[in-house]
Every structure is written in structure tokens, then in C-alpha cells.
């Protein structure tokens, strides 16, 4: 039965933590230092080969954390969104992310 109240405003906030709640982060693999996301390649080096950009199980395995990988896709038209997205996630300390490019053929 409809009560006339907005269900979104009436919904409990399940994301709120109590004072006694704790968050623990565990990983089943040893901590591996990754190349920083924001570190540009040296100007003296050319572009890496195209094959190094392919999505592989090894690439995902390097970035995965607690069996979670965060992914987005975009093209040059979305560059501002992608850079902002990566900046916000890395500011939060997240490194388990990948950005893919889609091409219009």
C-alpha cells in the first residue's frame, strides 16, 4: 500500500557505520609494489609496443586486490571524466583499477 512518502527518503542508510564498527582489509597475496599510475614514461623513450596494452590475465592480476578490479572504458571524448575518475580513486588510496579505450571503427 502506498503511504504517500518518498521511499528513497524513508529508506534506511545501510552504509552508515556504528561507532563500534571496524573495517579490515585483507589480501590473500603478498603486497607488491606497482609502478605509480600517475608516473609518466621518460620523454627519451618512445611509446611501448601495442601488445603491452592488451588486456591479459597477468595485467588484471597485477592490479587486483581482494579479488576486486574496478574498470571503466572511454575514448578521447571522455578524457576529462577518465582523468577525474582515476584521480579521485587514487586519492582514496585505490590502485586496483583499469581504464580501457574503445574505438569506433
Q: What's the 3-state SS for 39-88?
A: CCCCCCCCCCCHHHHCCCHHHHHHHCECCECEEEEECHHHHHHHHHHHHH
| 3 state SS of 100 | strand
Among 9-13, 17-21, 50-54, 61-65, top mean pLDDT goes to 61-65
57: in domain: yes
Distances (CA, A) of 37 to 1, 15, 78, 97, 105: 51, 29, 18, 10, 28
pLDDT greater than 60 at residue 28: no
pLDDT in tens, 44-58: 888 788 888 888 999
Sign of CA dihedral 34, 37, 38, 41: positive
37: in domain: no
80: in domain: yes
91: in domain: yes
| Higher pLDDT among residues 24 and 49, named by residue | 49
pLDDT greater than 60 at residue 7: no
Grade residue 10 by pLDDT with cuts at 50, 70 and 90: low
Domain carrying residue 86: 53-105
73: in domain: yes
Total number of domains constituting the chain = 1
99: in domain: yes
| Higher pLDDT among residues 100 and 46, named by residue | 100
What per-residue confidence (pLDDT) applies to 72?
Answer: 92
pLDDT greater than 80 at residue 30: no
Amino acid at each position: 500500500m502506498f503511504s504517500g512518502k518518498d521511499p528513497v527518503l524513508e529508506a534506511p542508510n545501510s552504509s552508515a557505520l556504528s561507532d563500534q564498527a571496524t573495517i579490515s582489509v585483507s589480501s590473500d597475496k603478498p603486497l607488491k609494489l606497482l609502478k605509480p599510475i600517475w608516473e609518466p614514461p621518460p620523454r627519451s623513450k618512445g611509446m611501448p609496443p601495442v601488445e603491452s596494452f592488451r588486456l591479459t590475465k597477468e595485467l588484471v592480476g597485477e592490479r587486483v586486490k581482494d579479488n576486486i578490479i574496478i574498470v571503466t572504458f572511454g575514448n578521447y571524448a571522455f578524457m576529462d571524466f577518465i582523468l577525474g575518475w582515476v584521480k579521485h580513486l587514487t586519492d582514496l588510496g585505490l590502485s586496483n583499477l583499469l581504464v580501457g579505450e574503445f574505438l569506433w571503427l
